[in-house]
Amino acid sequence: MEQLTLLNRPNRHLFFTGKGGVGKTSLSCAVAIALADRGLKVLLVSTDPASNLDEMLGTTLTDEPRSVPGIPGLSAMNIDPETAAEDYRNRVLEQMAPSASASDKATVREQLSGACTTEIAAFDEFVGLLTGDASDFDHIIFDTAPTGHTLRLLSLPKAWTGFLEANERGASCLGPHSGLKMQETRFRAALDCLADPARTTIILVTRADRGAIREAARTARELAELGLSNQMLAVNGRFTPTDPKDKIAVAFAAEQTSALSEMPASLAGLPRDEIPLLPFDMVGLPALRALLSTPSAPPMQDLPPLATPDLPRLSTLVDEIAASGKGLVMVMGKGGVGKTTIAAALAAGIAAKGHSVHLTTTDPAAHLSFVVGAETMPGLTVDRIDPEVETERYIAKIMSTRGRDLDEEGKALLREDLASPCTEEVAVFHAFSRVVGEARGNFVVIDTAPTGHTLLLLDATGAYHRQMTRHLDPDAPGRMVTPLMRLQDPDYTKVILVTLPETTPVSEAGALQDDLRRAHIEPYGWVINKSMAITGTCDPLLRSRITGEASQITRVRDHFASRVYGVDFRAHPPRGLSDLRQMAQET
C-alpha cells in the first residue's frame, strides 16, 4: 500500500530537494514508479552534476529522455552540465551580430568557459522542462542537486534583475546582454511555474536527524523568500525498534524522536509524510517499489552472524597526517555521508597533537559551526568561506586596484561588471586559493561541499591553472605554482574520500575518485563512516542492513582504495569539540 499523501492528488511538477544523503533520489524514483504504475506518462529528471539515477534504476541514461526498462510509461534523463554548457555557448554565439569578428567570438567563448556558465546552462535545460519542452508527459519529477547548489540556481533570476537593468554595455561571463535578457524572461517563467501551487509541489526531504532537519528548515525559508511556499515535508528513514532491550536500536529511535520534536515551527507546520527505514539499500526497481510499501523486518534466523570489519580507526589517519607537520587535507564525498563530522574530527585530532590547524568549509549550506559547537581548543581556528563576505572583499579589492585610476564613469562601468551574479564564483575561488596557500606553513582542513558543487570548484581551479600557465616557459626560473598544482602534489595535499558502507555512496565516491584522477589528483585514502557492524545490535532490521556492509567494505578495498579507515555508527552523533576529539582518538 502506498504511504505518501503526496500521491493522492499529485501536481504535474514534483520538485524533490534537501540535504545530500537524505534519500531524494530514492524517493523521487519511488514516486515516479508509483505514478507510472497508474498508467501515466512520467519523466524523471536529475539536475545533480553527480547524479546516481542510472545506478538506482539499473539502466544507462543520457541527457535525453529514455524509457526505463521494466516500468512502462516511465522515462528518465540526467541533465549533463558539460553538454548543456556547449549547447548554451553555441546559442549565445549564434545571437552575435553577423559582423562580429572571429576575435570577438573567441572573446565571448572565453567568457563562457567558467563553472558559472556550466551551472547556468544546466539550469537552462531544467527551465525548458518547466516551460513546455516536455509537454507530452503527465508528470515531471525533478531529483535535484544537494540544497546549497539548487538554491543558488533558483536565486539566479532574482539576482539578475538589478544587473541587467543597470548594465548598459551588455556583456558578462554569461554572454552578451541580449542573450541574458532572453534568458531572464525564460527563467522568470520557470520560477513562476515553481511558485504555482496548482502546477508544482516542492517536497523537502529530510532524515530524522538534527543536521538534516536544520537544513530542511533553512531551505524552506529561502525557497519561501523566492516565492516558493507550496511545500511539504517528507521524513525519510524513520526507525522503530522491535526489541525494547536493544540499547543501540532504542537509542537510535530516541535520537530521531528527539530531533523531530525540536523541529522549527515553520517546518512542523508543513504537510508531512514519514517513510520508514528499510532493511536494504535503495538500488534497483524491487527496492524502489518497496520504499512506498509497508515493510516487514526479516526474521532473526534468516540473518547470518555479524562480521566486524577489520579496519584501522580514525586515530591512525590522524597520526599519519600529523606526521608531516603541515599540509592541506581536503575531505570530499557525497552529501549525507558525514564529511563535516570527519573533517572536524580530523582537525580536532591534529590540533590535540599540538599543531596549528585551520578548519574551514566550502559548503554553501555551512554545517560546520553546528558540528563544532561553541567550544574552542588551543591551536584550532574554525571558520567558513562565506560567499557573500568573499564577494564583498573581492569587489573592494578590484575597485581599489583596477578601479583606482579610473574616472567616475569608468568606475561606474567596472561596478556594473562586478554586479554580475558570476562575481561570486570568482570570489569564492580566490578565497579557496588563499586557504590552499595557507597550508605551506600549517595544517588546513577543508570540509568540501557535496560532490557536484566541489567538482565545479575544481573545474574553476583547472581553468585558472590553464589560463595562468598557457604562455609560461616551463624552464623559466621562479616557476609559478597554481592552486591545482598544490592539489596535485601528494606531499602538499591529502584528499580523503568519505563514504557509507552502502552501494550508492560507494559508487559515487568511486566516480568522484575517477574525476579527481582525470585532474591528476590522487586521493590519499577512504573513510567508511557509520559502520553498524561493531555495535552489537540484535534488532532484525538493523542486522539486515549490517549484512550488506561487509561486501561494500570489500568492494572499497579491492577496487578503489589502498588505505581504508573505519568509523563506528553512533546512536548519538558527536556534538562539540570534546566528542570530536574523542572520536579522533579511538583505536
Catalytic residues, which ones?
A: 21, 23-26, 48, 504
Nearest to 549 by CA among 524, 575, 567: 567
Amino acid at 255: E
CB burial readout 40-57, b (16+ within 10 A) else e? ebbbbbbbbbbbbbebbb
Torsion of CA 208, 212, 218, 222, to 10 degrees: -100
Amino acid at 310: D
- Only one residue has cell 508544482, namely 200
Give CA–CA dist 382/530, Å, rounded: 24
Which phi and psi (to 5°) does residue 407 adopt? -75, 180
Give CA–CA dist 56/58, Å, rounded: 6
Q: What is the CA radius of gyration of the chain?
A: 24
**Eight-class DSSP state of 497:** E
Nearest to 493 by CA among 452, 436, 450, 451: 436
DSSP 513-562: HHHHHHTT----EEEEEEE-GGG----HHHHHHHTTHHHHHHHHHHHT-S
Helices (H) and strands (E) in the chain, counts: 24, 17
CB burial readout 114-142, b (16+ within 10 A) else e? bbbbbbbbbbbbbbebbeeebeebebbbb
Give CA–CA dist 61/76, Å, rounded: 7
Nearest to 321 by CA among 527, 171, 504: 527
Give CA–CA dist 191/169, Å, rounded: 26
In contact, 225 and 384? CB cutoff 8 Å: no
Which phi and psi (to 5°) does residue 290 adopt? -70, -20
Give CA–CA dist 174/111, Å, rounded: 7
User: How many Cα atoms sit within 13 Å of 298 on the Cβ side?
Assistant: 16
In contact, 567 and 527? CB cutoff 8 Å: yes
Give CA–CA dist 331/206, Å, rounded: 23
